[in-house]
Amino acid sequence: MTLNFDAIIIGAGQAGPALAERLCAAGMKVAVVERKHFGGTCVNTGCMPTKALVASAHAAHLARRAADFGVTLGGAVGIDMPAVKARKDRVTMTARGNIEKWLGGMAGCTVIRGHARFESAHELSVGEQRLTAPRIFINVGGRALRPPMPGIDRVRTLDNVSVLELDTVPGHLVIVGGSYIGLEFAQVWRRFGAPVTVVEKSPRLLGREDEEVSAAIQSILEAEGIAFRLGAECIAFEPQPDGRIAVGVDCRDGEPRVIGSHALLAVGRRPNTDELGLDKAGIAVDERGYIKVDEQLATSVPGVWALGDCNGRGAFTHTAYNDFEIVAANLLDGGSRRVTDRIDCYALFIDPPLGRVGTSEAQARQAGHRVRVGRRPMTRVGRAIEKSETQGLMKVVIDADSDAILGAAILGVGGDEAIHGLLAAMGAGQTAGDLARTVPIHPTVAELVPTVILGAKPD
């Protein structure tokens, strides 16, 4: 028996449920197919559980610093990891359950549990069922990459999913990968009490950031006791007789390997497209398995779109949700929105966080811009001083010819929030001069943005 729908959405991640609601409101008969957990990566193994851990780690960090604020505690700060994990699980389960209830109660929406595979361009199989629709939306997300490193099949490594299940503090956590996911986990587990070593193949952390931002982040984390082995050109794994794991680094300085109780791989992501039967539908993918889409997220097959991490056009919850907004506006509202309309923005949720928008100074110069750069250390930000959180810096990159704001970085307390003022200004097409003439609220971190702009100079 074949079930006919007006639209089928594969995956209940960030784009899927919201799109289902819009399509149903437009009078369509919609099927949402989910093989595992509602909410996708963000709710289950990404943003929400990890930021719940970040919050617990931050509480422990502040408790240890209580005396800095004139607060006395009755004894040493302890970590109850089963309780930390239970809190994290509650956050995830609540969000997951709410999404499932939302979809289950949505008029016009049929929720189907199982793994969807294409049988042809507009026909899917889910177990023994067959589903057809003139419109199909692929929203299947991605998962941790496990590259073929020497010895990796001889040891048990953690990834961003399995590390969330730990309810004890590792004796020594070795993290392979010095980028966003790896650094967030590094600080979390260090604050829970684990010795942490980060192994990174590149000569510095966060290769897409300016060198001064990268160096500042490394300095912040080193001050908390996190060790770094950079320039690790020959990463390899070897099991030890006592159950620990030796990670070979082959760096020029220091011991040639690091031995840890646990090893976490944080070296990238891959799309969940390999078991969808895309070849049967004629849907084109690139060499890494990402579904090829145009500016309006349409695939190579008419009537099929790809949203979220699986299309390679963004790797964040906010870009996945924006994919929904683009598709809904174009399909239902007569719009002509494009992926390239959005401004690149993201955050690194260490403490203090990094908020980023637009291009870095290095990227701007590589693109041929003449730039003016404004900087200010957080030691000269009143809000940071009042909170005794003076690590980091603010930086704004401006086109010297047009006065356009090209990008900014705020590494410091509230940086993940303060950056949105710059994002909004860029989205509205305001120049640096326009933003510099605003009157922000005191005392905040954002109030220093006009000051940074006014102090910008050619570098």
| Segment 270-289, tens digit of pLDDT | 999 999 999 999 999 999 99
Q: Which amino acid is at 223?
A: A
pTM: 0.95
Q: Give the Cα-Cα-Cα angle 2, 6, 11 (nearest 5 degrees).
A: 85
Picking from 145, 168, 149, the residue whose alpha carbon sits closest to that of residue 245 is: 149
pLDDT(252) > 80 = no
Q: What is the pLDDT of residue 254?
A: 79
pLDDT tens-digit series, residues 67-103: 999 999 988 999 999 999 999 999 999 999 999 999 9
132 shares its domain with 21: yes
Rounded Cα distance between 208 and 436, Å, is 27
Structure tokens at 364: 């701007």
Q: Classify the C-alpha dihedral 270-271-272-278 as positive or negative.
A: negative
Structure tokens at 391: 């690590």
Rounded Cα distance between 222 and 205, Å, is 12
Q: Classify the C-alpha dihedral 318-320-323-324 as positive or negative.
A: negative
Mean pLDDT of 321-334: 98
Mean pLDDT of 318-333: 98
121 shares its domain with 101: yes
337 shares its domain with 356: no
Mean pLDDT of the chain: 97
97: containing domain? 2-144+270-341
Q: Which residues contact 425 (CB under 8 A, 6 or more apart)?
A: 405, 434, 435
SS3 322: helix
66 shares its domain with 194: no
Structure tokens at 267: 């070296």
61 shares its domain with 98: yes
DSSP assigned state of 235: -
Which of 285, 320, 341 is the endpoint of a domain? Answer: 341
**Residue 1: pLDDT band by 50, 70, 90 thresholds?**
confident
Question: Parallel, antiparallel, or unpaired for β 405-411 and 354-358?
Answer: antiparallel
Q: What is the pLDDT of residue 18?
A: 97
Q: Give the Cα-Cα-Cα angle 44, 48, 52 (nearest 5 degrees).
A: 120
229 shares its domain with 356: no
Q: Is the peptide bond before 241 cis (omega within 30 degrees of 0)?
A: no
Mean pLDDT of 17-38: 97
Assign residue 121 a region: left if phi > 0, alpha if psi is -120 to 50, beta otherwise?
A: alpha
Rounded Cα distance between 137 and 248, Å, is 43
Q: What is the CATH number of the domain that holds 259?
A: 3.50.50.60
274 shares its domain with 263: no
Which residue reads 């197919």 in tokens? Answer: 33
Which of 282, 316, 341 is the endpoint of a domain? Answer: 341
- The values of phi and psi at residue 357, to 5°, are -145, 145
Active-site positions? 442
Q: What is the pLDDT of residue 195?
A: 98
**Domain count within the chain:** 3
Q: Give the Cα-Cα-Cα angle 441, 443, 445 (nearest 5 degrees).
A: 85
Rounded Cα distance between 285 and 339, Å, is 18
325 shares its domain with 399: no
Q: Give the Cα-Cα-Cα angle 109, 111, 116 (nearest 5 degrees).
A: 120
Q: Which amino acid is at 6?
A: D
252 shares its domain with 298: no
- Please state, for a pLDDT cut of 70, what percent of the chain lies above it: 100
Give, in order, the Cα–Cα distances in Å from 291 to each of 21, 269, 297, 364: 24, 14, 10, 29
How does DSSP assign 362-423, residue by residue?
HHHHHTT--EEEEEEEGGG-HHHHHTT---SEEEEEEETTT-BEEEEEEESTTHHHHHHHHH
65 shares its domain with 211: no
163-167, 231-235, 338-342: range with lowest mean pLDDT: 231-235
**Residue 251: pLDDT band by 50, 70, 90 thresholds?**
confident
343-357 in b/e form (b: 16+ CB < 10 A) is: eebbbbbbbbbbbbb
Residues in the chain: 459
Structure tokens at 412: 């410091």
Q: Which amino acid is at 52?
A: A
Q: What is the CATH number of the domain that holds 350?
A: 3.30.390.30
Mean pLDDT of 399-428: 98
Which of 280, 310, 341 is the endpoint of a domain? Answer: 341
376 shares its domain with 285: no
307 shares its domain with 232: no
Q: What is the pLDDT of residue 108?
A: 97
Which residue reads 């895309």 in tokens? Answer: 278
